[in-house]
Amino acid sequence: MDDARAWPALAAASVLTVLCAVVAGVSASAAGSELTRGPSTAELHAAAKREVAARWRTWAAGRIFPASLPYSAEQGGQERASRIGISPRTDCAAAVDAKAAKALRKAGCRAVLRATYIDALQGVLVTVGVVALPDELDAVRAKSAFPESGGPVPGLRPLPFSGTVADRFTDPVRQAGTVRQAGPYLVLTTAGQVDGRPARAVGEQRPTIFAFAGEISERVLADLSTPRMPDCTAEEWRC
């Protein structure tokens, strides 16, 4: 009787052991598949979004601010604005007016990168500023602190360089400004004349002489904010 009772129990135990092994095998197979599968489309898009948000610190300064930038000439055709210099400073507060600095701080500003350009006719200076924010929503909120009417204040502060044609490019010289936004970035510009005349001393100006500032800022912004899908075969990506 003891052997008869023991057999069904032993058989049940054996079946349970086999079931556990099967379950473990399935789990191990699923885990292995998860580890070896390629990234999903959603994961690739998320990686691309993170890469865009990091460009302000991973890209070389000369890539963000090329030595020259093309723009449309008033008379037609293309001309190029030439870079005079790039600021080594990236702090947010010093790059913009106090009122705008407060808005950037509330939005979580990470850095403001600045470079100054001169137009092809060498009569107009433009400082271009890249504002890096945590995400797109913060960038949209921060944008509201800057006038979209073309006014320079509150806005980006000019970046002068001693010993160059931009040595007199100071706050009072500002005559026009722009603001553009895409992804986690704002690109700001402030423009004035090379001769250093304060804006209050300048008569009525043709607004078109500063129009190229917005165009070159859009080129900088497009390069920074356009996502690039990860290439899992390249060393720079981890998939």
- Split at pLDDT 50, 70, 90, the class of 237 is low
How many residues does this entry show for the chain? Answer: 239
Query: Torsion angle of alpha carbons 149, 153, 159, 164, nearest 10°?
Result: 80
Domain-located, residue 237:
no
Residues 133 and 162 in one domain: yes
Q: How far apart are the C-alpha atoms of 171 and 144, rounded to whole Å? A: 21
Residues 107 and 138 in one domain: yes
Residues 107 and 217 in one domain: yes
Residues 7 and 103 in one domain: no
Residues 2 and 52 in one domain: no
Residues 119 and 155 in one domain: yes
pLDDT at 230 over 90: no
**Token pair 């995400």 is at which residue?**
135
Domain-located, residue 235:
no
Domain-located, residue 12:
yes
Number of domains comprising the chain: 2
β strands within the chain, DSSP E: 68-72, 78-86, 111-118, 124-132, 176-182, 185-193
| Displacement of CA 161 from its chain's centroid (Å) | 25
* Structural domain span for residue 21: 1-37
HEC letters along 70-131:
EEECCCCCEEEEEEEEECCCCCHHHHECHHHHHHHHHCCCCEEEEEEEECCCCCEEEEEEEE
Range with the poorest average pLDDT among 73-77, 132-136, 178-182:
73-77
Percent of the residues in the chain that have a pLDDT greater than 70, as a whole number? 77
Residues 63 and 31 in one domain: no
Q: How far apart are the C-alpha atoms of 224 and 184, rounded to whole Å? A: 10
Residues 138 and 68 in one domain: yes
Domain-located, residue 219:
yes
pLDDT at 4 over 60: no
How many C-beta neighbours within 10 Å does residue 87 have? 19
Q: Name the pTM for this structure.
A: 0.79
Residues 52 and 157 in one domain: yes
What pLDDT does residue 33 have? 47
Residues 99 and 151 in one domain: yes
Helix/strand/coil for 138? helix
Residues 211 and 119 in one domain: yes
